[in-house]
Structure 1
Amino acid sequence: MKCCVVTLGCQMNQSDSERIRSVIEKYGYEMTDSEEAADLIGIVACSVRQKAIDKVYSKIAKWNRWKNERPLVTFVSGCILPADEVKFLKLFDLVFRMNELPDLPKMLQQCGVATEFSVRNPVADIERHDERTDFWQVDPTYSSDFEAFVPIQNGCDKFCSFCAVPYTRGREVSRLSGDILQEVQKLIDRDVKSITLLGQNVNSYGLDKKGEEISFAELLRKIGELGKASGKGLWVYFTSPHPRDMTRDVIEAIADYECLAKQIHLPVQSGDEKLLRKMNRNHSIEDYLKIVDDIRELLPTATIFTDIIVGFTGETDEQLENTAKLMLGVKFNMAYIAKYSPRVGARSARWEDDITPQQKSERLARLTEVLKRTSLEHNESMIGKKYKVLVERVDPRKEGAVQARTEGKLPVRITDAPEDLVGTFQTVEITRASELSLTGRLVA
């Protein structure tokens, strides 16, 4: 019996998939990447973007046609809007939320799926804390030997007008710090090189449990102590923070520990004050720039990434230029720029989407040119200097080369490098810089 799990969306969905795979493997299935070879096929969906939801409908239409030819059971989970969930109930054999993951074996039995392991619940012995977060007690089947995602927080209380996450993930809830630290220690013991702490608003960690849990800065310090005590090479990242909760003590914690990576992903979404209020971001440009100043002061080598939306309802040319000015001032190393698309459930879906597709494309191109300019300026300053990198994969485009990333998550192609370097730290000298990437050679 084989199972295939398709993952869409963000790193949180990837983390969810690792826990789903773990439960299914314990139930007796062998995992496969081939949909055609699978007897059980699932998808971890993302209702946040329409394109991702369109892909879900395309997949299930194909899978349901296969049912005419062979036995097949399908399921869907992940980040799902209530309206999409109702539709999915008519298309999939199983629809479950992540907090129901410990009961997945029981659901499979009710669908008539039985294996030699199905006489018992493979997750029945997990310690139950909170029905909203019990799925975190499932040990994941990590998809990499050297990189891992560790969820620390789920849900969102910010209610940005363009975002559906509060309706797909629910309100903010923090994972027990003891469980987080235990998982991080296990990963360190396994010699994992890169750990990313995950949450929809990762730096709001502990705010829902004031007096009961430590703060995000305190959590980082405890993780920093684990990394320091291990004496091993390790980079710890987190994503995504919200500027509203980004405090100086978080940046101070990163500065104090070598293993806490000097890379900050800080979504701004727009550089215009009026548009930020319309987006219900609850931070000003002044607030944002104060955080950037703190980063530049305390973490002078840090790279700064961001998220930006173009073509939001009512956005003017002047407001777009305000975003361009912000980008030029901050000099982002990377910006994930997305064209606005309404999502049912988000407040902005009730407003007229009055920016044409052509205008959105033009505005994305405008900001992409700004990003290329600031990124190239930084990358060229790295030429001739040596950096520690983590080799991530064999380069599919160039034989005898591998792809790596610096501590600041800047991509580096290393030429004349053997494949067995994947998963290891190496030192490279940067030999060439382009707008969004680097090339380097190994330093003995």
Structure 2
Amino acid sequence: MKYCLLHLGCQMNMSDSERIRSVVEAMGYERTESEEEADLLGIVACSVRQKAIDKVYSKISKWNDWKQERSLVTFVSGCILPTDKEKFLTRFDMLFTIQELPDFPNMLRQYGIATPLSAGALDASVLGHDEPDYQQHSDAGAERAADQLAASLGITTDPDKLTEADTPAGTGAATALAEVIPPDSADPKKGYWKVKPSYQSKFDAYIPIQNGCDKFCSFCAVPYTRGREVSRPSAEILAEVRDLVEHDYKSITLLGQNVNSYGLDRNGDEMDFPQLMREVGEIGRETGKEFWVYFTSPHPRDMTEELLEVIAEYPVLANQIHLPIQSGDDKVLIKMHRQHNAERYRQVVANVRRILPEATLFTDIIVGFTGETEEQFQNTRKAIEEYRYNMAFIAMYSPRPGAASSRWADDIDQDEKKRRLHELTEVLQQVSREHNNAMIGRTVRLLVDREDRKDGYLSGRTEGKLIVRFPVPDGIQPDHLIGSFVDVTITAAANLSMEGELIASREPAGSRQAVEV
């Protein structure tokens, strides 16, 4: 039996999907990218953007049509607003929050689903009796079926009779799930973090350190989809970092809706974010391995000089700062309830430039927010020109149910929003190209992450997450370089990327390169 899982939205949703995959695969399902092949279909949804929600409705409509022709089960999780949740409950077979993930196997069982680790995965000849109607299974019936499967494979399900020989991975449903879902994962707020993720890359990983947000920006649905801030225990975070480093991961990103308020919800019982980053840096110092650690997203109000100084101290803490501005106008920022103004943001950027002079700067921007005048929009344009962003994720405003701004008039015409988005994009491309032109002739360190769309080329990212493509030299297999660090000399520049020539392919355990981006 096979499953297909789609994830929409941000990196946090992608990280959640890696934990969902672990649980589903521990139940015996085989992953497929084809929805048509799958017996179990799921979506990690995102209510933050209407486009993503529209895609959910489109998918479930198609999947429910398929039920007329074949048996399949659907589920949805992720960031879901209450209004969307009510509608999803009538369309999907199951809905669960990420906090409820450890209980997902029980939900399937109670729904009457035979997983591949129940007798339904085997034909009648294996069990020696007719295949039962699994849609009619009670809990007790499902448990008996699992016991019968275990018996047919020579596996004991009696905990008092288990021996070391019974405990390796894959020796039964209970064992497989126990390895993914520890017994102490029942905490409704943070137990799901104990679920072992099924990383989708062998060199690039995301680690959630926090869930929810207390900022309540007026345009944002996150406090209503994920709740208030909850910090993950630092011991778990550091253990996951260390494990990834030991398995030679090269890029690690710490995730949260507001990472630099990490620990503040624990009333002094947990370290704060600069302390957490210092401990991560020490892992790099102790192991001597080369890897880059990123974090997203911070809030300008909570970005301290102490954090920047910690980043400067440890080579593994990457010289890249993602600092959402959303708007360059004070009145719009007040309406957005951003809790910072243009001057505060300017001070933070000045600290970044002083303490981390080689750091790249990324941001998030919303155009066409309720009541945004042309003058206010132009202040955002000026901000891009002043701060010289290397990358900006620019979005047209769309109201989300539940967020405070959804009660206000969405009074900027859609065509005007598009015009403003295109204007900012042009400014961004201009300042980015000027930076990239200045890089020509310099040698940079890259983490190669994929084959480029340009035939015969590979693509990688600098420590500052800038894209560089380079031709694969004769005699080198492209697959041998993906997931590795290489040195490239920049030979050409484009708006948001660069091109170079490979000069080295090495994995030193030494310190930060003399020249970096």
Per-residue deviation, 1:399: 1.7
Letter in 1 for 2:29: Y
Letter in 2 for 1:413: R
Per-residue deviation, 1:156: 0.5
> Does 2:490 correspond to 1:430?
yes
Question: Which residue of structure 2 aligns with residue 419 of structure 1?
Answer: 478
Q: Contact 1:391/1:404 (CA < 8 Å) preserved in 2?
A: yes
- Name the CA distance, whole Å, in 1 between partners of 2:227 and 2:282: 32
Match of 1:228 among 285, 288, 296: 285
Partner secondary structure for residue 91 of structure 1: coil
> Does 2:260 correspond to 1:203?
yes
Cα deviation, 1:367-408, whole Å, max 9, x if unaligned, reads: 11111111111111100000000000011x222111100000
Change (3 A) 1:262 1:129: farther
85-94 or 366-375, larger mean C-alpha shift:
366-375
| Aligned counterparts, 1:74-85, within 5 A | 74-85=74-85
> Does 2:381 correspond to 1:381?
no
Cα deviation, 1:35-55, whole Å, max 9, x if unaligned, reads: 111000000000000000000
Q: Contact 2:459/2:469 (CA < 8 Å) preserved in 1?
A: yes
Question: Which residue of structure 2 aligns with residue 410 of structure 1?
Answer: 466
Question: Which residue of structure 2 aligns with residue 145 of structure 1?
Answer: 202
Q: TM-score of the superposition, structure 2-length normalised? A: 0.84
| Aligned counterparts, 1:275-294, within 5 A | 275-294=332-351
Q: Contact 2:220/2:403 (CA < 8 Å) preserved in 1?
A: yes
Per-residue deviation, 1:130: 3.0
Question: Which residue of structure 1 aligns with residue 15 of structure 2?
Answer: 15
> Does 2:302 correspond to 1:242?
no
Match of 2:377 among 308, 320, 324: 320
- Name the CA distance, whole Å, in 2 between partners of 1:215 and 1:164: 25
Change (3 A) 1:67 1:54: same
Structure 2 spans left out of the alignment, 5+ residues: 119-145, 147-172, 505-517
Match of 1:300 among 335, 352, 357: 357
- Name the CA distance, whole Å, in 2 between partners of 1:433 and 1:198: 31
Question: Which residue of structure 1 aligns with residue 42 of structure 2?
Answer: 42
Question: Which residue of structure 2 aligns with residue 179 of structure 1?
Answer: 236
- Name the CA distance, whole Å, in 2 between partners of 1:73 and 1:6: 14
Per-residue deviation, 1:125: 3.4
> Does 2:397 correspond to 1:340?
yes
Per-residue deviation, 1:221: 0.2
Question: Which residue of structure 1 aligns with residue 215 of structure 2?
Answer: 158
Per-residue deviation, 1:110: 1.5
Letter in 2 for 1:410: L
Per-residue deviation, 1:129: 6.7
- Name the CA distance, whole Å, in 1 between partners of 2:81 and 2:183: 28
Letter in 2 for 1:113: I
Q: Contact 1:12/1:151 (CA < 8 Å) preserved in 2?
A: yes
- Name the CA distance, whole Å, in 1 between partners of 2:328 and 2:268: 36
Letter in 2 for 1:67: K
Per-residue deviation, 1:116: 5.0
Per-residue deviation, 1:228: 1.4
- Name the CA distance, whole Å, in 2 between partners of 1:49 and 1:200: 15
Question: Which residue of structure 1 aligns with residue 310 of structure 2?
Answer: 253
Partner secondary structure for residue 213 of structure 1: coil
Q: Contact 2:75/2:92 (CA < 8 Å) preserved in 1?
A: yes
Question: Which residue of structure 1 aligns with residue 139 of structure 2?
Answer: none
Question: Which residue of structure 1 aligns with residue 26 of structure 2?
Answer: 26
Q: Contact 2:182/2:194 (CA < 8 Å) preserved in 1?
A: no
Partner secondary structure for residue 285 of structure 2: helix
Letter in 1 for 2:290: G
Partner secondary structure for residue 236 of structure 1: strand
Question: Which residue of structure 2 aligns with residue 115 of structure 1?
Answer: 115
Question: Which residue of structure 1 aligns with residue 138 of structure 2?
Answer: none
Q: Contact 2:446/2:485 (CA < 8 Å) preserved in 1?
A: yes
Q: Contact 1:427/1:443 (CA < 8 Å) preserved in 2?
A: yes
> Does 2:404 correspond to 1:361?
no
- Name the CA distance, whole Å, in 1 between partners of 2:483 and 2:105: 34
Q: Superposition RMSD on alpha carbons, in Å?
A: 1.0
Q: Contact 2:102/2:186 (CA < 8 Å) preserved in 1?
A: no
- Name the CA distance, whole Å, in 1 between partners of 2:292 and 2:241: 12
Q: Contact 2:29/2:116 (CA < 8 Å) preserved in 1?
A: no
- Name the CA distance, whole Å, in 1 between partners of 2:116 and 2:48: 38
Partner secondary structure for residue 443 of structure 1: strand
Letter in 2 for 1:273: D
- Name the CA distance, whole Å, in 2 between partners of 1:391 and 1:378: 21
Partner secondary structure for residue 36 of structure 1: helix
| Aligned counterparts, 1:263-282, within 5 A | 263-282=320-339
Q: Contact 1:126/1:138 (CA < 8 Å) preserved in 2?
A: no
Q: TM-score of the superposition, structure 1-length normalised? A: 0.98
Structure 1 spans left out of the alignment, 5+ residues: none
Cα deviation, 1:154-197, whole Å, max 9, x if unaligned, reads: 00100000000000000000000000000000000000000000
- Name the CA distance, whole Å, in 2 between partners of 1:144 and 1:107: 29
Partner secondary structure for residue 271 of structure 1: coil
Q: Contact 1:202/1:241 (CA < 8 Å) preserved in 2?
A: yes
> Does 2:493 correspond to 1:440?
no
Q: Contact 1:176/1:213 (CA < 8 Å) preserved in 2?
A: yes
Q: Contact 1:126/1:137 (CA < 8 Å) preserved in 2?
A: no
Letter in 2 for 1:372: Q
Per-residue deviation, 1:128: 3.3
Change (3 A) 1:369 1:384: same
